[in-house]
Structure 1
Amino acid sequence: MVRSLVGLLAAATLAGPAGAVDPGYWQALRAVDARMATIAWRLQTANAPLCRALQPAPGLQLHAVDQYAGDAEAEARATFGFATPVQVEAVAPGSPAALAGIVADDGLVAVNGEPAPRPGPASAGTSATRDAADALIARQPADRPLVLTLQRAGGTRTVSVPATPGCRSAFEVLLGPGLTAKSDGRIVQVGVRFFETLPDDKIAAIVAHELSHTILDHRARLEAAGAHWGLLAEFGRDGQLFRRTEDDADRLSVHLLRNAGYDPQAAVRFWREDGGSIDGGPFRGASHGSARARADAIAAEIATLPPPGRPDPAPAVLATRDQPLSAVAPRP
């Protein structure tokens, strides 16, 4: 599931921006979440055969009224309605949820007959209710239809969304000024600043790279190898361990993009045209290659792909997820 930027912003700022906010402000933030939802849904479902852990991926995202605190709650109610405490924030175009007739601002009543979570006394200004609703959907069988009970304009309806297995992962847009992207094996997070300047195909390249970390089980393998996070991750053996995971994620991301219908060359263009602003230049640590080196390595992986129209066999890098990580001399 994709975690709501709108709700995260409200929770982070408590009362939201000073004074009344034009509804267009909240709608613009919802549009960012919708972009992330669409990219995530395409990558999750197209690459389900490569993932060991699956969940339903209907192509929708949720938010909850108690994510908004102070003045933001009244603004959220005025903008989004909230006929029920948890409702649909956005739906990916062309997704099973969209084809089933689910639309933004549908209230969520139940999932496969189980009532949707409701806010508790300690949930105000947090994402607890939304997270519980996401978890409710994620724990349903991925290979069976998802039956959602929805409410809108005072009426209740039941919608059956065809089974749509997707790679098990949450996706989240991060607030703040940083050009940040990361995965901890559970959540893929991408900084909102990327959405301000990049087209969807380049953002998809970023998301595919981070989802590759999840598919390749990098977090658990780094922990098993005794790697350290933080400043130590940039030096010595730790830097080499992280560098190997970054290189492998770059390789796999090429295949994820192709499977999802994106042009893998978008990843090359991202590193050649935009990567210089985030690769650290002369201050770059050992854990990441230069933007130029990454673009070249990605281009080399693209050269191994079969011609358009022919299926992509299982990427060779997938075999590494069963291997312990070992320090290797990083490439330039």
Structure 2
Amino acid sequence: MSRVSILSSAFVALSAFLLAVPPQAPAAIPAVAEQSDDGALFAAMREADLRLASIAWRLATANAALCRDVAPTPGLIVHAIDQYDPGVRKQLPALFGFEGPVAVEAVVPGSAAAKAGVEADDTIEAVDGKPLTVSPAGANQASTATRDSAQRQIAAEPADHPLRLTLLRHGQRREVTIPAQPGCRSRFEMMMGPGLSASADGDIVQIGSRFFERFDDRMIAVVVAHEFSHNILHHRDRLDAAGVKRGLLSEFGRNGRLFRQTETEADLLGVILMRNAGYDPHDAVRFWREHGGEVDGGLFRSRTHPSSSARADAVAAEIAAIPADAPTPYRPALLDRAAAPLQ
């Protein structure tokens, strides 16, 4: 279920401060959107993006003390007008603000950005007084380069310092200072498509849009926490360092064993991340028992992954092993091996 275990669809290069963003190349959007007077498609996309961003923000900020790599996590979803197909861009200022190239798609309720007064449809002009860069790549085709640059600029700010944004709304410019809100560094995105696909590559987490149609946020949190754990545990880099083979050889011998090891580790850390963020970790047990076959292919699953019943059993045992008086956040011993070579 992860890119490290090669069962993914191809997180567009995105927000290093835990944001969900629209799909990289929404080629199907123009024709549909032009038939929709009320922008229902875009509204549904924004709603799903916000659901993912809210889950990711909650997991990232609650577990910041556990992570070596942290970044500003203000609770913003940033998008750029040139990441959309040119044929649909004329509609976007009315739907998303866009008084400039980069805007706030949505704001996570309760986040530092929300408390500072940042609102959906605010245009972002500068970060800490430095103007955002517009890439020429999006002039004639959909490109994420402008958005990615804005996200990197925000992510480069110190995680333990306030974040200062210059915003524009209805022609009125204002400076907003967002209190520091560190979170575990990763980037999150909803991925359009019909399958129940999810992936992580060390930097980015992608969650398929089908999850948002099929499951409630508690179940989606199980999937997000699992993929997020791959990044926190640096599984991609550690698998590469171990010289594992991908493709047809990934399921056999040492390759398959190490892939299964990383999947189990992500399952176990995932329930800790959930517990620390106030989710019920037992939801992970229910997810794997009741829905695991839908996600991993059941009898036809890749042997780079344990069976869903084995995953449910391992997760249940991990939950039972958490001390009754464990603090929040609880730091599992598994994190002590996050930099160790895979054996």
Q: Into which bin does the TM-score normalised by the smaller protein fall? A: over 0.9
CA 30–9 in structure 1, closer or farther in 2 if over 3 Å, else same? farther
2:131 aligned partner: 115
2:45 aligned partner: 29
Matched, 1:178 2:195: yes
Displacement of 1:266 in angstroms is 1.3
Letter in 2 for 1:222: L
1:74 aligned partner: 90
1:297 aligned partner: 314
CA 19–164 in structure 1, closer or farther in 2 if over 3 Å, else same? closer
1:274 to 285, 291, 298: 291
Displacement of 1:83 in angstroms is 1.1
Letter in 1 for 2:178: V
1:47 aligned partner: 63
1: CA distance between counterparts of 2:246 and 2:192?
22
| Structure-to-structure mapping, 1:234-273, within 5 angstroms | 234-273=251-290
2: CA distance between counterparts of 1:175 and 1:122?
20
| Structure-to-structure mapping, 1:129-148, within 5 angstroms | 129-148=146-165
CA 122–24 in structure 1, closer or farther in 2 if over 3 Å, else same? closer
**Structure 2 stretches lacking a partner, 5+ long:** 1-14
Displacement of 1:75 in angstroms is 2.4
1: CA distance between counterparts of 2:31 and 2:310?
42
1:95 to 111, 133, 150: 111
1: CA distance between counterparts of 2:63 and 2:166?
28
Aligned to 1:251, what secondary structure does the other structure show? helix
Displacement of 1:312 in angstroms is 4.9
For the 8 Å contact 2:65–2:329, the answer to whether it is kept is no
CA 210–82 in structure 1, closer or farther in 2 if over 3 Å, else same? same
1:149 to 140, 157, 166: 166
Aligned to 1:17, what secondary structure does the other structure show? helix
Bigger relative contact order, structure 1 or 2, given CA contacts below 8 A and separation 6+? 2
Matched, 1:106 2:153: no
2:332 to 302, 315, 331: 315
For the 8 Å contact 1:184–1:219, the answer to whether it is kept is yes
For the 8 Å contact 1:272–1:292, the answer to whether it is kept is yes
Displacement of 1:16 in angstroms is 4.5
For the 8 Å contact 1:45–1:167, the answer to whether it is kept is yes
How does the TM-score come out when normalised to structure 2?
0.90
1:4 to 11, 18, 21: 21
1: CA distance between counterparts of 2:329 and 2:72?
24
Aligned to 1:105, what secondary structure does the other structure show? coil
Displacement of 1:25 in angstroms is 1.4
CA 197–119 in structure 1, closer or farther in 2 if over 3 Å, else same? same
Matched, 1:219 2:236: yes
**Structure 1 stretches lacking a partner, 5+ long:** 327-332
Aligned to 2:338, what secondary structure does the other structure show? helix
1: CA distance between counterparts of 2:328 and 2:55?
21
How does the TM-score come out when normalised to structure 1?
0.93
1: CA distance between counterparts of 2:199 and 2:246?
13
1:64 to 80, 83, 87: 80
Displacement of 1:154 in angstroms is 0.7
Letter in 2 for 1:196: E
2: CA distance between counterparts of 1:35 and 1:100?
20
Paired residues in the alignment total 324
> Percent identity over the alignment?
53
1:127 aligned partner: 144
